[in-house]
């Protein structure tokens, strides 16, 4: 894999004001890079800020501070309409709930072609239709579906429409925010296979946000674990699974239920106790081993390094 | 083991503007004392409708039990009047709902919601009911129960709210506890806690649990027996080991195959193609045939009966007929049946 950085997130913060004085620090200084052609998984409990991170990256929210660089260019900050348009074309999003992210009063053709119209990618109606039909075929739907409305589709099919819409403008980078959580198990596998195949065919880069660690492990090359607005661990997905360092990651891994009764009977679950951390120094994101980062203090770093050697 | 609940040829339909939707089409199963029966299936397979009809909570008048019997301790509860059913509901059979957000009353303090059933069903005085509720809240692991009693549902987190729902369900020591996707709305870590809690409570009270879910990982964790539902029917039933290590029905294979293993390099997931059938016009023959790569000619014409695999294990697929060709499950599924966590457990040994 090329190690070319497609997206750089540096010390990204997003705070939401609540009422007059209080502030919710949804994302509190997150930094990571996403390389070209890879799938970066972001996991964590609900409320840990993983969706906010995704939405801030694509500028659905304005960042409180920190920066996001896409292909070396800053995403946030003042932009002309033209620049925004250019940027929007490169980055697209697939949403969690396929029934609320599609306009119920637009037919599938218009939903998918909206991006084409905005970016003037097609010249006439014939091209428009041909492109939509091509996209429908890519995501495994029929061209007859183009005239129908979202309510006529099942959840899995709706998610496919969402994917076709994201693909329409030929983006380089797709943020998938829990794209399968609302779907049935058998349909989940279909959508995951589709996303993987699209990545192979079109060289896409994904940011895959989910709370289901086993699916994330399956689809991602690298995984970041979030806890209360901070990244606590980041590593290659195999490395993270085999050598989880941060106690929170360990407890998260120990909680995944596996469809294997014997394993389940023997399972030992670990609890995460945030008070065990050393508080002698500042908590920072430190590299324990090439490519494997953990949020810890200096003292803990030494301890983790030792732990890894054993 | 004594039979507590027996369902015989249950059929449930809904009247809609488009016609009659046959949600449940002939379901048979039994629930024994102290066991956990998991019912798995996709949305629309009829698992929730089955559980609601046990509690007689079908939306009237459009939803109705068309035929069949539900025997609770030998008594057919489908014939009971609304009044008689009220005595059973919540005291003998109780239910934990999926969404703890919408199954609690937002305008009532949590304590009163727990006390309600105790006062109504068990005739406890207010003080006694209060003490019992405090005990229940402690049992389900809510810290500071005295304070929590006087709070409203919105002051609780999702996991805590589900604990309250469980406390309400347990209030009258029910013989049967129906849990309809109790952990689907929760995070994995909270889910693990709730499952542990339910298992612990079952050990103490010896109640029977009917656990409805679509998550096979959860099933492997809690269930003694498993029934797999598809298109309003049970297509395979057996002990947990039967289903996970010796599945016979292609639909069960599909469900197992579509779960990712934690193996390092895995090829494509084995997805079930297509989507579930429309229950307005259930297909002729085997409902799963159009999505089944192993379907035989007969599947399109005749519905398969339940074939016996062992004393505990039955499956409805023509593949088990003596004249059927011998078909092995796909490689990916076979590997999963040998133990999903192979890589995981090896790892543990390394440590």
- Choose among A268, A275, A277: nearest CA to A295: A277
For A186, which of B187, B195, B272 is closest by C-beta distance? B272
Are B196 and A262 inside 8 Å of each other by CB? no
| Range list of β-strands (E), B45-145 | 63-72, 75-76, 93-96
Are A218 and B260 inside 8 Å of each other by CB? yes
CA closest to A251 among chain B residues? B189
Alpha-carbon span A122 to A129, nearest angstrom: 9
DSSP A225-274: EEETTEEEEEEEHHHHHHS--SHHHHHHHHH---S-HHHHHH-------G
Q: How far is CA B124 from CA B97, B170, B172, B283, in A?
A: 25, 15, 11, 52
pLDDT range class, residue B264, cuts 50, 70, 90: low
Are B339 and A260 inside 8 Å of each other by CB? yes
Residues with Cβ within 8 Å of A149's Cβ and at least 6 positions away in sequence, in order, are A104, A105, A106, A107, A108
Residues with Cβ within 8 Å of A307's Cβ and at least 6 positions away in sequence, in order, are A245
For CA atoms A93, A97, A101, A104, the dihedral sign is: positive
Helix (H, G, I), strand (E, B) or coil at B177: strand
Check: CB of residue B5 under 8 Å from CB of residue B30. yes
Residues in chain A with CB shorter than 8 Å from the CB of B345 are: 263
Q: How far is CA B34 from CA A140, B1, B3, B4, in A?
A: 46, 9, 10, 9
| Range list of β-strands (E), chain B | 3-16, 19-32, 36-40, 63-72, 75-76, 93-96, 176-180, 208-213, 225-230, 233-239, 307-308, 314-315
Kindly state the tokens that stand for A193: 């296979």
Q: What is the pLDDT of residue B351?
A: 33
pLDDT range class, residue B1, cuts 50, 70, 90: low
Are A255 and B188 inside 8 Å of each other by CB? yes
Alpha-carbon span B228 to B219, nearest angstrom: 11
Taking only the tens place, the pLDDT of each residue in B195-248 is: 988 898 898 888 999 999 888 889 999 999 999 999 999 999 999 999 999 999
CA closest to B268 among chain A residues? A193
Taking only the tens place, the pLDDT of each residue in A8-56 is: 999 999 999 888 888 888 999 899 999 999 999 999 888 888 889 999 9
Alpha-carbon span B302 to B289, nearest angstrom: 11
Residues in chain B with CB shorter than 8 Å from the CB of A211 are: 187-188
Check: CB of residue B239 under 8 Å from CB of residue B313. yes
Q: What is the pLDDT of residue B350?
A: 35
B19 sits in the region (left: phi over 0; alpha: psi -120 to 50; else beta) called left
Residues with Cβ within 8 Å of B37's Cβ and at least 6 positions away in sequence, in order, are B29, B31, B208, B209, B210, B211, B223, B224, B225, B226, B227
Please check the confidence at residue B341 and state whether its pLDDT lies above 80: no
Q: What is the pLDDT of residue A42?
A: 94
CA closest to B230 among chain A residues? A186
pLDDT range class, residue A301, cuts 50, 70, 90: confident
Please check the confidence at residue B101 and state whether its pLDDT lies above 80: no
Q: What is the pLDDT of residue A109?
A: 94
Residues in chain A with CB shorter than 8 Å from the CB of B220 are: 257-261, 263-264
Residues in chain B with CB shorter than 8 Å from the CB of A186 are: 42, 254-255, 258, 271-272
Alpha-carbon span B23 to B10, nearest angstrom: 10
Alpha-carbon span B49 to B65, nearest angstrom: 10
Are B221 and A262 inside 8 Å of each other by CB? no
Supply the mean pLDDT for chain A.
88
How much of chain B, in percent, has pLDDT values that exceed 70?
Answer: 95
pLDDT range class, residue B152, cuts 50, 70, 90: very high
Half-sphere exposure of B213 (CA within 13 A, CB side): 28
Taking only the tens place, the pLDDT of each residue in B45-55 is: 888 899 999 98
Kindly state the tokens that stand for A73: 């260019």
CA A201 to centroid of chain Cα atoms:
20
Q: What is the pLDDT of residue B98?
A: 80
Residues in chain B with CB shorter than 8 Å from the CB of A259 are: 216-217, 219-220, 244, 256, 259, 336, 340
Are A257 and B158 inside 8 Å of each other by CB? no
Q: What is the mean pLDDT of residues A247-252?
A: 90
Please check the confidence at residue B266 and state whether its pLDDT lies above 80: no
DSSP B84-97: HHHHHBTTTEEEE-
Q: Tell me the β-bridge partners of B230.
A: B233
Q: Which of A60-74, A139-153, A271-285, B295-309 has the lowest mean pLDDT?
A: A271-285
Residues in chain B with CB shorter than 8 Å from the CB of A242 are: 347
Taking only the tens place, the pLDDT of each residue in B310-335 is: 999 999 999 998 888 888 888 878 88
Distance from CA of A298 to the nearest CA of B (A): 25
For A259, which of B192, B264, B340 is closest by C-beta distance? B340
Residue of B98, B200, B220, B336 to mutate, interface with A, max A Cβ within 10 Å: B220
Alpha-carbon span A6 to A205, nearest angstrom: 8
Check: CB of residue B282 under 8 Å from CB of residue B231. yes
How much of chain A, in percent, has pLDDT values that exceed 70?
Answer: 99
Cis peptide before B61 (omega within 30 of 0): yes
Residue of B38, B44, B158, B188 to mutate, interface with A, max A Cβ within 10 Å: B188
Please check the confidence at residue B287 and state whether its pLDDT lies above 70: yes
Residues of A near B (CB-CB distance < 8 A)?
A: 45-46, 154-157, 184-190, 192-193, 196, 211-215, 217-218, 238, 241-242, 251-252, 254-264, 267, 269, 272
Please check the confidence at residue B168 and state whether its pLDDT lies above 80: yes
Residue of A221, A235, A257, A310 to mutate, interface with B, max B Cβ within 10 Å: A257
Could you count the other beta carbons within 10 Å of the beta carbon of residue B320? 17
Q: What is the pLDDT of residue A127?
A: 93
Q: What is the pLDDT of residue A305?
A: 84
Question: How many A-B residue pairs are in contact by the CB < 8 A criterion?
Answer: 125
Q: What is the mean pLDDT of residues A243-268?
A: 86
Taking only the tens place, the pLDDT of each residue in A51-99 is: 899 999 998 998 999 999 998 888 888 788 888 888 889 999 998 888 7
* ipTM of model over 0.85: no
Q: What is the pLDDT of residue A75?
A: 86
What's the alpha-carbon Rg for chain B, to the nearest Å? Answer: 21
| Range list of β-strands (E), A88-155 | 91-94
Taking only the tens place, the pLDDT of each residue in A184-242 is: 777 888 889 899 999 999 999 999 998 888 888 889 999 999 998 999 999 999 899 88
For A192, which of B192, B220, B269 is closest by C-beta distance? B269
Distance from CA of B348 to the nearest CA of A (A): 9
């Amino acid at each position: 894999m090329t190690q070319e950085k497609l997206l750089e997130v540096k010390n990204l913060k997003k705070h939401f004001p609540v009422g007059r004085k209080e502030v919710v620090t949804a994302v509190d200084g997150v930094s990571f890079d996403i390389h070209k052609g890879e799938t970066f998984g972001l996991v964590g409990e609900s409320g840990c800020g993983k969706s906010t991170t995704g939405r801030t990256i694509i500028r659905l929210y304005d960042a409180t501070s920190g920066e996001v660089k896409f292909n070396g260019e800053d995403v946030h900050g003042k932009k002309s309409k033209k620049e925004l348009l250019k940027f929007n074309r490169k980055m697209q999003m697939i949403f969690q709930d396929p029934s609320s992210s599609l306009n119920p009063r637009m037919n599938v053709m218009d939903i998918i072609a909206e991006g084409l119209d905005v970016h003037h990618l097609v010249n006439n109606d014939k091209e428009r239709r041909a492109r939509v039909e091509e996209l429908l075929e890519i995501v495994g739907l029929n061209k007859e579906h183009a005239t129908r409305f979202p309510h006529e589709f099942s959840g899995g099919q709706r998610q496919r429409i969402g994917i076709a819409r994201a693909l329409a403008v030929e983006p380089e980078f797709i943020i998938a925010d829990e794209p399968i959580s609302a779907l049935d198990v058998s349909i989940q596998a279909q959508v995951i296979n589709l996303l993987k195949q699209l990545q192979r065919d079109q060289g896409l880069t994904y940011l895959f946000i989910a709370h289901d660690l086993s699916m994330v492990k399956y689809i991602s090359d690298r995984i970041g674990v979030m806890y209360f607005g901070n990244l606590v661990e980041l590593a290659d997905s195999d490395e993270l699974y085999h050598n989880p360092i941060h106690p929170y990651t360990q407890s998260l891994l120990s909680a995944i239920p596996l469809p294997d009764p014997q394993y389940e009977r023997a399972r030992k679950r670990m609890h995460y106790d945030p008070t065990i951390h050393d508080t002698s120094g500042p908590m920072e994101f430190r590299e324990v081993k090439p490519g494997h980062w953990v949020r810890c203090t200096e003292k803990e770093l030494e301890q983790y390094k030792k732990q890894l050697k054993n | 083991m004594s039979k507590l609940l027996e369902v015989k040829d249950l059929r449930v339909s809904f009247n809609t503007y488009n016609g009659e939707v046959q949600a449940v089409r002939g379901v048979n199963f039994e629930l024994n004392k102290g066991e956990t029966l998991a019912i798995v299936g996709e949305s629309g397979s009829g698992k929730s409708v089955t559980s609601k009809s046990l509690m007689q909570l079908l939306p009237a008048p459009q939803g109705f039990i068309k035929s069949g019997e539900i025997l609770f301790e030998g008594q057919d509860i489908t014939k009971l009047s609304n009044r008689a059913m009220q005595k059973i509901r919540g005291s003998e059979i109780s239910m934990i709902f999926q969404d703890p957000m919408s199954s609690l009353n937002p305008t009532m303090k949590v304590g009163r919601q727990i006390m309600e059933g105790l006062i109504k069903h068990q005739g406890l005085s207010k003080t006694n009911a209060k003490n019992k509720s405090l005990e229940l809240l402690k049992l389900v692991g809510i810290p500071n129960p005295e304070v929590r009693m006087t709070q409203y549902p919105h002051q609780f987190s999702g996991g805590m709210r589900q604990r309250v729902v469980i406390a309400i369900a347990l209030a009258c020591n029910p013989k049967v506890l129906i849990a309809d996707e109790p952990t689907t709305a929760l995070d994995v870590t909270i889910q693990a806690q709730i499952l542990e809690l339910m298992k612990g409570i079952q050990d103490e009270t010896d109640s029977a649990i009917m656990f409805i879910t679509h998550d096979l990982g959860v099933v492997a964790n809690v269930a003694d027996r498993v029934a797999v539902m598809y298109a309003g029917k049970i297509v395979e039933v057996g002990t947990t080991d039967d289903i996970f290590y010796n599945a016979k029905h292609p639909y069960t294979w599909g469900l197992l195959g579509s779960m990712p293993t934690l193996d390092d390099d895995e090829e494509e997931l084995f997805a079930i193609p297509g989507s579930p059938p429309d229950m307005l016009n259930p297909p002729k023959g085997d409902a799963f045939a159009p999505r089944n790569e192993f379907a035989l000619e007969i599947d399109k014409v005749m519905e398969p009966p339940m074939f016996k695999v062992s004393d505990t294990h039955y499956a409805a697929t023509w593949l088990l007929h003596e004249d059927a060709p011998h078909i092995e499950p796909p490689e990916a599924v076979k590997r999963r049946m040998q133990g999903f966590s192979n890589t995981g457990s090896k790892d543990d040994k390394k440590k």
